Amino acid sequence: MNRPVPFVRTNVACALFAVTSLWLASCGDDGVNCEIDAVFTDQQQAEIRRAADDWNKLTVRDVTFAPEGEGDWLILPASVTLNRLGYAQRKRRLIRINPVTPDEQIYAVALHELGHALGLGHVPKGVMDPDRQTIVFSDEDMAECRRVGACPD
Ligand SMILES: [Zn+2]
């Protein structure tokens, strides 16, 4: 009767370890660790980092930056469509920002796309409004941020 006990204990320990690893892995997925393609100008890169800083003041998920080749997310200068300046795809961990975007608009585009990277969808007003986007976080933005678990309740 004594023999099965250590066996069971080992299995329980493995299961706990597996659950913990899974938890750690899913926790790591919540943050957005990105690298900015070096083709962006210094000014453009500074605007993208400024947008990340502003999200980081609000969220429980951090946007962080990694050296080239070490980020989970890639922010690329690439054309999107004729009428859009940015694009984000969570599954591919890819953000594209149209290289013709004027410097003064890069901040706004990065703010919106980083919002998608953090898990937010579109809302009718504010930073995540796809039609009349502003650079001011709205109540709707904050509600969406809480809904997806990126902002504290
Ligand atoms: Zn969008």
| Distance (Å) from CA 20 to ligand 1 centroid | 34
In a domain, 72, yes or no: yes
- Backbone torsions φ then ψ of 138, nearest 5 degrees: -100, 170
Mean pLDDT score, 14-22: 41
Q: What share of the chain is helix, strand, coil (3-state, %, to 5)?
A: 45, 15, 40
Same domain, 79 and 143: yes
Q: Which residue has the higher pLDDT, 78 or 84?
A: 78
| Distance (Å) from CA 113 to ligand 1 centroid | 6
pLDDT digits (tens, 9 = 90+) for 117-148: 999 999 999 999 998 889 999 999 999 999 99
Cα-Cα end-to-end distance for the chain: 50
Q: How far is the CA of 123 from the centre of ligand 1 (A)?
A: 9
- Ligand 1 centroid to Cα of residue 42, in Å, is 24
Are 62 and 49 found together in one domain? Answer: yes
pLDDT of residue 82: 61
pLDDT tens digits, 20-79: 434 443 444 579 999 999 999 999 999 999 999 999 999 999 999 999 899 999 999 987
Same-domain check for residues 50 and 71: yes
Domain count along the chain: 2
Q: How far is the centre of ligand 1, averaged over its atoms, from the C-alpha of 59 (Å)?
A: 18
- CB-count exposure of residue 153 (10 Å: 0-12, 13-18, 19+): exposed
- Residues 25 and 78 reside in one and the same domain: no
What's the pTM? 0.79
Same domain, 84 and 15: no
